[in-house]
Amino acid sequence: MLNRYARAFFSRLFTPLAAALLKRGISPDAVTVFGTLGVVIGGVVFYPLGELWWGSVFITAFIFTDLLDGNMARQSGRSSPWGAFLDSSMDRIGDAAIFGGLTLYFAGRGDSLSNAYLALLCLVLGFVTSYVKAKAESLSLRCEGGIAERADRLTVILVATGFVGLFLPMWVLTVVLVLLALASAFTVAQRVAMVHAQTKGAA
């Protein structure tokens, strides 16, 4: 849902910054990799140390490069299959760092094996959600949407994790992880159903 309603707004917001970076000779690919490195540091360094608030703030600052690099590519006319491939690959690394970092936190300082399993489940289901779409599109089939797209998943987990690190009780994050896992599973089912509807006549 956030993909539809927020991406256009933030794309316009970042247009001046994207133009300024291009004037300085910075490439969209460099921004993509730089942003991913920031997300990875936030996820695998801050979270396992129990710095849930600052980790979420740090990650959020770098997450927006995912919109910035696309804006730069469009302005410079450099949109290409390579750029799309790199961006998608870096997204998977960032997602792994966020949920992997939470898994490490709960398996260590967070002292909650059940939450560690939930964070790991969210990571796996998020990857399956993305894989289903990528595989369908490689077969020239339409596969998009769902109640928990990547932007939705990241917004929910970063907000919940950040405020639990600030003042909310831990059970709030437990509930969010359960709901996020359920929503991700439902999104996979939605996309599978969409692909099946397009292919059942071909058989």
What is the DSSP annotation of 106-174? HHTTT--HHHHHHHHHHHHHHHHHHHHHHHHHHTT------SS-HHHHHHHHHHHHHHHHHTS-HHHHH
| Residues sharing a CB contact under 8 Å with residue 36, sequence separation 6 or more, in sequence order | 62, 65, 90, 91, 93, 94
Is 60 within 8 Å of 87 (Cβ atoms)? no
Report residue 57 as tokens.
């703030």
| 152 tagged catalytic | no
Q: What is the C-alpha to C-alpha distance for residues 28 and 17, in angstroms, rounded to an integer?
A: 12
34 is written with which tokens? 């730089």
| Catalytic, out of 29, 66, 91, 152 | 91
Burial of residue 9 (number of CB atoms within 10 Å: 0-12, 13-18, 19+): exposed
Annotated active-site positions, please? Answer: 91
